[in-house]
Structure 1
Amino acid sequence: MQADVVLLSGPPGAGKTTTARRLAATYAKAVHLHTDDFWHVIVSGGIAPYLPGSDPQNRTVMAAVGRAARTYAEGGFTTVVDGIIGPWMLPHVLDPASSAPRVHYVVLRPSRAEALRRAQARSAPDALVETGPVTAMWDQLADLGPLERHVLDTTSQRPEETLAVVRAAVDGRRFVLSAHPGDARG
C-alpha cells in the first residue's frame, strides 16, 4: 500500500529538521529524508546550493530526493522530506507522469528576524549561520503566490507546538498538492 510524502520546507532556522524527525517518528512505518544529506554526498564539483550557478546541480539533487521519496512511499513508508524546497523546485521533486503518492507541501516560516536568530543559534559544524544566505533564502520563500496557503507561521511556537500543528495539517489533508502544484488549487 502506497503511503504519503510530506515535503516540509522553510528557510534556515524554521525548524524543518527537528519537526521532520519528530513527525516521522509519529508514524508506524516512516522515513525521514534530509535534503542536506543529498548535497553532502557530492564529493567533487559541487557548489553551495544557494550560490549563483547552482541551479542545474540543485535540480539534479531535488530529482534524486523526489525519486527516493516516491520509492519509499510506494513501499508503504510515510516519507517526510525536509529541506528548502521552493515552488520552483516542486516539478523536480514530483513526477506527475507516475501514479505518484499523495504529496503534502508544508512551509514553516517564522518571521525573518526569528529565522535568522534561530539559524545563528545553531552549533552544528556545517550549520548555515551567515546572515546574507539565511535572509536571502527567507526572502525567496516570503511570497509563494498561490501556494501561500501552505505556510505555517512558526515564529512563536515551541518545537512540540509546531509538530502538533503540522501533524494536524497532514492528517486533515490541508496542504495536499494538486497535480499541478503551481496552480491556484495547489
Structure 2
Amino acid sequence: MRGDVVILTGPPGAGKSTTAAALAAGFEKSVHLHTDDFWHFIAAGAVPPYLPESDRQNQTVLRVIALAALAYAEGGYTVVVDGIIGPWMLHHFQRAQRDDPATSTHYVVLRPARETTLARAQARTGPDALTAAEPVLAMWDQFADLADLERHVLDTGDQSPEQTLEAVREALKSESFRFPQNRDMSNKSVTT
C-alpha cells in the first residue's frame, strides 16, 4: 500500500519543522524529509537558497526531494516534506508523481501574519537558523498571494504548536488540501 506525500510549507518561522516532526510521529510508517538537509548535502559550490542566482541549484534540489518523497511513499511510508516549497516548485512533485499516480500529494501552507513570522524567525537560535529580516520577509511575501492555492493556507499566528498540529491533521482529513496532478504549477520562477 502506497503512502501519501504531505508538503508542509510556509515562510521561515511559520512552525513547519515543529509541526512536521509531530505530524510524522503520528503515523505507523512515516518519513520526515527536512528539506534544509538536502542543501547541506552540496559539498562545494552551494549558493544560499534565498539568493536569485540560486534558482538552478534550487530546482535541482527540489527535484531530488520530490523523487525521494515519491520513492518513500511507494514503499508505503507517509512522507512529510518540511520546507519552503512554493507553487513555483510543485511541478517537481507533479513530474515525479506522473510515474506513480496512485500516490496522493497534499499541500499545506502555514502562514502566520508577516510580523509574527519575522518575530518567530528571529527568535530561533539554531546554528543554521535564518534570522535576517530581509530574506525572511521576502519569503513571506512570496507566500502572501497564492491565487487559487489560497485554500491551502492555514493561519497559524495565534496557535500553539499543538493547535497547529491539530489544524494540519484536520486539513488532511478534509481532503481539500490535495493538489491536482494535471495542473501546471511551473509558471512562476521564484527563489526559495
TM (normalized to structure 2)?
0.93
The answer (yes or no) to whether the contact 1:90–1:181 under 8 Å persists in 2 is no
The answer to whether residue 172 in structure 2 is matched with residue 170 in structure 1 is yes
CA drift of 1:98 comes to: 1.3
CA separation in 2, counterparts of 1:24 and 1:181?
27
For residue 79 of structure 2, give the secondary structure of its aligned residue in structure 1. strand
Instruction: Confirm or deny: 8 A CA contact 2:35 2:83 kept in the other structure.
Output: yes
Find the aligned partners of 2:48 and 2:183 in 1 and give their Cα distance.
Answer: 26
Q: For 2:184 and 2:13, how far apart are their aligned partners in 1?
A: 25
* Counterpart in the other structure of 1:44: 44
Letter in 1 for 2:105: V
Among candidates 145, 148, 152, match of residue 147 of structure 2: 145
TM-score for the superposition, normalised by structure 1: 0.95
Secondary structure of 1:94 counterpart: helix
RMSD: 1.1
Report the residue type matching 1:58 in the other structure.
Answer: N
**Cα distance, 1:86 vs. partner?**
0.4
Once the two structures are superposed, the pairs formed by residues 1-186 of structure 1 within 5 Å of their partners are 1-95=1-95, 96-100=97-101, 101-181=103-183
Count of aligned positions: 183
User: 1:52 Cα shift?
Assistant: 1.4
Whole-angstrom distance in 2 between the partners of 1:153 and 1:181: 25
Structure 1: gaps (5+ residues): none
How far the C-alpha of 1:181 sits from its partner, in A, is 4.2
Identity over aligned residues, as a percent? 58
Residue 77 of structure 2 aligns with an amino acid whose one-letter code is F
- SS of residue in 1 equivalent to 2:131: coil
Structure 2 residue runs without a partner (length 5+): 186-192
> Structure 1: how far apart are the matches of 2:183 and 2:2?
20
In the aligned structure 2, how far is the partner of 1:99 from the partner of 1:92?
A: 13
CA contact (8 A) 2:8 2:80 kept: yes
Shift of residue 179, structure 1, vs aligned partner:
1.3
- Cα deviation, residue 182, structure 1: 5.0
